[in-house]
């Protein structure tokens, strides 16, 4: 945990209290939708394989992997160019939100991961054949956030993603959560991605009346603790499924750079609905990263993801190196270092 002295007095007080409730809040927000998607997706499970099949495949040379997620640091650090310039041959695992970044750079990942059950948003990372100007007017989720500048012209970005996925999709494996929306599943299948199905853990499968246990009994697929977010799920795939023992993280911020307007954060609208525009300082939590010597700020959801990730990493036999260059993921058992140093010193 962060020492309390790194948080200015009074800042983020409500946010800190909400962190303890994020498990229940996340279930309320995503759980029923994810379960409904999983039940619907039973009809197309034969269009792919079980995630267990990935253990039998040789993915990337050696024992290392690099995870690429789409945090704010991605456009500042540009890890794809480093990996290409260095001729990296290990496994590259990306979140679906980092696909456009990778493919535009000419970097085709070995494995992509998707988790979020949202009915209309997540498919846009794969290109939405049905996207319209009216749909964009109704949802500013992409346009207001601090993410890929390509989304400044969202219709043009969508056309680009459609083309890139039609070109490269059949070369990419995807760890496709059963919680994925019909739009995502339809698109993944349409472009010919190689599908490996898995169930997210909605709850403790050892508890009575477990939803996770019921789901696993229904479809007989592996259940994976995804830490509540796709970045953590990608790390889990690299370490516990692919069996890589040295894993570098890029774009895994769980935070925003100091100075980023609250409006450009993922959960801004939820925060405003909770406390109002004038009280947002009570929700957002400002932290100092001693490994980087810089301040960042986060929200209760990302703070909870951070804590969950540290718990998962502590239980793993793999070594995790944060090469993100930003954010708040630091402390045991994480080693912070630049990506170049990971490539020079960590990989045999």
Per-residue model confidence as pLDDT tens digits over 117-131: 999 999 999 999 999
Provide the 10 A C-beta neighbour count for residue 263: 14
CB-based contact 113:135 (threshold 8 Å): no
- 24 pLDDT band (50/70/90 cuts)? confident
**How many folded domains does the chain comprise?**
1
| Whether pTM exceeds 0.75 | yes
pLDDT digits (tens, 9 = 90+) for 316-338: 999 999 999 999 999 999 999 99
* Helix pair 300-315, 22-40: axis angle to 10 deg: 80
Average pLDDT, the chain: 93
Contact 197, 221 (CB under 8 A): yes
For 177, other C-beta atoms within 10 Å of its C-beta total 27
- Give the pLDDT confidence score for residue 271 in this predicted structure: 92
* pLDDT at res. 222: 97
- Give percent above pLDDT 70 in the chain: 95
- The pLDDT, as a whole number, for residue 7 is 39
Inter-residue contact 246 to 63 (CB < 8 Å): yes
Q: Looking at residue 149, what is its pLDDT?
A: 61
CB 50 within 8 A of CB 197: yes
Q: 29-33, 55-59, 83-87, 150-154: which has the minimum mean pLDDT?
A: 150-154
* Strand 194-200 to 223-224 pairing: parallel
**Model confidence band, residue 143 (pLDDT cutoffs 50, 70, 90):** confident
pLDDT score of 26 more than 80: no
**Which residues fall within 8 angstroms of residue 78, CB to CB, at 6 or more apart?**
none
Q: If you average pLDDT over residues 136-145, what whole number do you get?
A: 84
Q: pLDDT tier at 6 (50, 70, 90 boundaries)? A: very low
Note the pLDDT tens digit of each residue in 218-236: 999 999 999 999 999 999 9
Share of the chain above pLDDT 90, in %: 85
Instruction: State the pLDDT at residue 348.
Output: 76
Tell me: pLDDT of 311 over 90.
yes
Instruction: Indicate the pLDDT class of residue 49, thresholds 50, 70 and 90.
Output: very high
pLDDT of residue 3 exceeding 50, the answer is no
Domain of residue 114: give its range.
4-346
CA torsion 5→296→327→305, rounded to 10°? Answer: 70
* Per-residue model confidence (pLDDT) at position 146: 56
């Amino acid at each position: 945990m962060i020492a309390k002295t790194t948080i200015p007095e009074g800042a983020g007080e409500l946010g800190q209290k909400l962190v303890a409730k994020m498990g229940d809040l996340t279930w309320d927000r995503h759980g029923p939708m994810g379960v409904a998607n999983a039940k619907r997706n039973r009809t197309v499970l034969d269009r792919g394989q079980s995630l267990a099949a990935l253990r039998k495949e040789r993915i990337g040379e050696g024992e290392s992997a690099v995870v690429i997620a789409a945090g704010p640091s991605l456009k500042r650090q540009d890890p794809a160019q480093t990996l290409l310039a260095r001729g990296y041959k290990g496994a590259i695992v990306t979140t679906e939100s980092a696909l456009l970044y990778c493919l535009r750079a000419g970097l085709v990942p070995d494995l992509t991961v998707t988790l979020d059950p949202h009915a209309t948003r997540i498919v846009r990372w794969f290109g939405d054949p049905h996207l319209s100007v009216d749909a964009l007017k109704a949802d500013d989720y992409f346009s207001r956030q601090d993410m890929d500048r390509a989304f400044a012209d969202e219709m043009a970005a969508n056309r680009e993603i459609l083309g890139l996925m039609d070109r490269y999709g059949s070369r990419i494996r995807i760890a496709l959560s059963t919680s994925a929306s019909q739009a995502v599943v339809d698109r993944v299948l349409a472009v010919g991605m190689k599908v490996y199905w898995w169930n997210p853990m909605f709850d403790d499968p050892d508890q009575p009346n477990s939803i996770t246990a019921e789901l696993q009994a229904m479809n007989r697929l592996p259940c994976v603790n995804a830490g509540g977010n796709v970045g953590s799920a990608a790390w889990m795939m690299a370490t516990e499924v692919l069996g890589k023992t040295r894993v570098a993280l890029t774009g895994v911020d769980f935070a925003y750079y100091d100075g980023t307007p609250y409006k450009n954060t993922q959960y801004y609208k939820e925060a405003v609905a909770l406390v109002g525009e004038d009280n947002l300082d009570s929700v957002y939590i400002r932290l100092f990263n001693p490994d980087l010597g810089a301040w960042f700020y986060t929200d209760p959801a990302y703070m909870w993801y951070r804590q969950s990730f540290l718990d998962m990493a502590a239980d793993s036999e793999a070594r995790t190196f944060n090469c993100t260059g930003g954010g708040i993921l630091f402390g045991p058992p994480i080693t912070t270092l630049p990506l170049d140093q990971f490539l020079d010193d960590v990989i045999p």
